[in-house]
């Protein structure tokens, strides 16, 4: 089974969190699902370096990375995903979608309105217990 290690940012602007929607994908279980933005860790990168690079590439942002929030290990049908999530803060809602098809800024209470990728659901649940 293929194993993939990624980082993701739970990005706050004041009391709202950035949620981004994946494009259509041949893998139905992640196609057009919402997620916390991020991506794969490249060889030689720290988790924080990977997150900074991915957020710059995908959204043209450089948030303040505060702390590691939770690591999720999720078994998808075709691969095992290890996702390291970090709490981040932005000083503006100004982002540029380069890979995603939609964005929403939601309060913690409203996160359940979205159709989340399965690996992101434990992050949503933990945020709602804070």
Cα 114 from Cα 117, distance rounded (Å):
10
Residue 50 has pLDDT above 90, yes or no: yes
Confidence of residue 38 (pLDDT cuts 50, 70, 90): very high
- Asked whether the predicted pLDDT for residue 60 surpasses 90, the reply is yes
Q: What is the pLDDT of residue 130?
A: 83
* Mean pLDDT of all residues in 98-114: 97
State the CATH number of the domain containing residue 29: 3.90.79.10
Domain that holds residue 8: 2-127
- For residue 64, give both structure tokens: 């303040």
Q: State yes or no: pLDDT of 110 exceeds 90.
A: yes
Only one residue has tokens 């057009």, namely 32
Strands (E), the chain: 2-13, 16-21, 34-35, 38-40, 64-75, 79-89, 102-106
Which tokens belong to 122? 């434990």
Average pLDDT, the chain: 96
What does the pLDDT read at residue 27? 87
With b meaning 16 or more CB within 10 Å and e meaning fewer, what string describes 5-25?
ebbbbbbbbeebbbbbbbeee
pTM of the model: 0.94
Q: Count how many residues are written for the chain.
A: 130
pLDDT at 1: 86
Cα Dmax for the chain = 40
- Do residues 55 and 9 make contact, with C-beta atoms less than 8 angstroms apart? yes
**Number of domains present in the structure of the chain:** 1
């Amino acid at each position: 089974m293929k194993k993939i290690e990624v980082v993701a940012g739970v990005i706050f602007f004041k009391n709202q969190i950035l949620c981004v929607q994946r494009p259509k994908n041949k893998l139905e279980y992640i196609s057009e699902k919402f997620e916390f933005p991020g991506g794969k860790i490249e060889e030689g990168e720290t988790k924080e370096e990977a997150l900074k690079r991915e957020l710059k590439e995908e959204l043209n942002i450089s948030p303040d990375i505060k702390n590691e929030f939770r690591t999720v290990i999720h078994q998808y049908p075709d691969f095992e995903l290890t996702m390291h999530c970090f709490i981040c803060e932005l000083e503006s809602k100004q982002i540029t979608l380069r890979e995603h098809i939609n964005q929403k800024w939601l309060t913690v209470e409203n996160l359940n309105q979205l159709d989340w990728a399965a690996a992101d659901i434990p992050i949503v649940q933990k945020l709602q217990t804070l």
